[in-house]
């Protein structure tokens, strides 16, 4: 159970995948929520059921323009900062995208927090801060941080900025290095990609790389649980943790699950691999994200990667067929 405290939350990127799930959870728990979203990758429809809730405010604007909304941004206790570029492979063709839609945003969120006097920032970092360490287990404070993509660089830069603001200006900060998050309202990701491809062509499935890329996938419901667990229990002023279930699943296994959920038979589908060990040059083929730090604090994932993928693809297949 997550203890709630009648706080006022500002969820930046609150109309996105993780954000919309977070907002639903907070409002159901009786909290007040302001969402800031520019709707670049967010979707207003994800929040539709909340617009009649008096504890909910929606600001449709870029967080870079926060100075225009100071009246609405009063007495915020906690910022949940989820805004970033959602398509991490886009860096191959637009290498500055993650800087523009990530690093600069986080600098602005830090300034906003300092100026309006926010007590706490919960920041969505990512496993990309580690870079490519082959099969090595990725451990907070131990594994060297060598990001190999602009997405990873942007997440590490965000952590660095918030570390300095936390210590200089007394803002409590927790940074979360998520495994691949999956679940309802997902807008990007390999499983969703497969379902969309199978929906439009049920005889051929193209797979980027060799299909052996192997990563941790965590269900969005557990991400929300873990973030709020840290927010309510961790006393350190600056805290960094992975959020992971500690296990992995590879892309070929995800393809098998997607084919099954799409009601198709694997024997009748031609699978074509683009080849190589990764989907794009900044990809990391194996992500072995340690779960031990949070386990040591008292939070443990109950949904493994395979189950998380299954749950998410069932809900996404429903969403695809409703549209």
Sites of contact with its own copies (CB under 8 A): 91-92, 95-96, 99, 103, 107, 111, 114, 129, 131-132, 141, 144-150, 152-154, 156-157, 160-161, 163-165, 167-169, 238, 281-282
Minimum CB separation of residue 288 from its own copies in Å reads 18
Q: Which is nearer to its own copies, 16 or 152 (CB)?
A: 152
Do the Cβ atoms of 98 and 91 come closer than 8 Å? Answer: yes
Q: How large is the angle between the packed helices 251-261 and 305-322, nearest 10 degrees?
A: 40
Q: Which is nearer to its own copies, 74 or 96 (CB)?
A: 96
Question: How far apart are CB 252 and its own copies at their closest, in Å?
Answer: 25
Token look-up 């009063």 returns: 74
Instruction: Report the residue number, 161 or 192, with the smaller CB distance to its own copies.
Output: 161
Q: Give alpha helix (H) positions in the chain.
A: 17-28, 97-98, 104-116, 150-169, 190-200, 220-233, 251-261, 292-297, 305-322
Nearest approach in angstroms of CB 36 to its own copies is 19
Measured from the CB atom, is 219 or 278 closer to its own copies? 278
Pick the closer one to its own copies by CB: 157 or 305.
Answer: 157
Q: How far apart are CA 205 and CA 194, in angstroms?
A: 7
Cα separation, 317 vs 323, in Å, equals 10
What is the nearest approach in angstroms of its own copies to the Cβ of residue 160? 4
Exposure string over 102-130, b if 16+ CB within 10 A, otherwise e: bbbbbbbbbebbeeeebebbbbbbbbbbb
| Least Å from the CB of residue 113 to its own copies | 11
Nearer to its own copies (CB atom), residue 4 or residue 160: 160
Maximum C-alpha span of the chain: 60
Q: With contact defined as beta carbons under 8 Å apart, do 282 and 148 qualify? A: yes
Least distance CB 89 / its own copies (angstroms): 11
Main-chain dihedrals φ then ψ at residue 112, nearest 5 degrees: -55, -45
Taking the complex as a whole, the smallest distance from the CB of residue 174 to its own copies amounts, in Å, to 14
Closer to its own copies by Cβ: residue 102 or 191: 102
Q: 288 and 248 in contact (C-beta within 8 Å)?
A: yes
DSSP, collapsed to helix, strand or coil, labels residue 36 as: strand
């Amino acid at each position: 159970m997550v203890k709630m405290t009648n706080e006022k939350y500002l969820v930046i990127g609150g109309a996105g995948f993780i954000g919309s799930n977070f907002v639903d959870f907070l409002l159901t728990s009786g909290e007040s929520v302001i969402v800031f979203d520019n709707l670049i990758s967010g979707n207003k429809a994800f929040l539709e059921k909340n617009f009649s809730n008096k504890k909910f405010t929606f600001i449709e604007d870029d967080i870079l323009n926060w100075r225009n909304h100071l009246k609405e941004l009063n007495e915020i206790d906690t910022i949940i900062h989820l805004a970033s570029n959602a398509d991490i492979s886009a860096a191959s063709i637009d290498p500055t995208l993650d800087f523009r839609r990530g690093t600069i945003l986080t600098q602005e969120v830090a300034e906003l927090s300092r100026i309006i006097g926010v007590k706490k920032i919960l920041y969505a970092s990512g496993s990309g801060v580690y870079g490519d360490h082959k099969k090595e287990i990725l451990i907070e404070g131990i594994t060297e941080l060598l990001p190999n993509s602009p997405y990873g660089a942007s997440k590490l830069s965000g952590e660095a900025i918030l570390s300095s603001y936390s210590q200089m200006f007394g803002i409590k900060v927790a940074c979360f290095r998520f495994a691949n998050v999956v679940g309802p309202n997902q807008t990007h990701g390999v499983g969703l990609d497969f379902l969309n491809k199978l929906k439009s062509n049920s005889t051929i499935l193209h797979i980027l790389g060799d299909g052996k890329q192997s990563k941790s996938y965590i269900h969005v419901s557990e991400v929300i649980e873990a973030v709020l667990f840290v927010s309510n229990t961790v006393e350190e002023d600056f805290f960094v943790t992975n959020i992971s279930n500690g296990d992995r699943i590879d892309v070929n296994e995800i393809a098998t699950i997607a084919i099954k959920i799409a009601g198709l038979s694997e024997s009748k589908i031609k699978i074509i691999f683009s080849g190589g060990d990764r989907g794009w040059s900044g990809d990391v083929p194996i992500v072995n994200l340690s779960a031990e730090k949070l386990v040591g604090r008292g939070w443990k994932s109950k949904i493994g990667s395979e189950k998380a993928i299954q749950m998410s693809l069932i809900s996404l297949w429903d969403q695809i067929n409703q549209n």
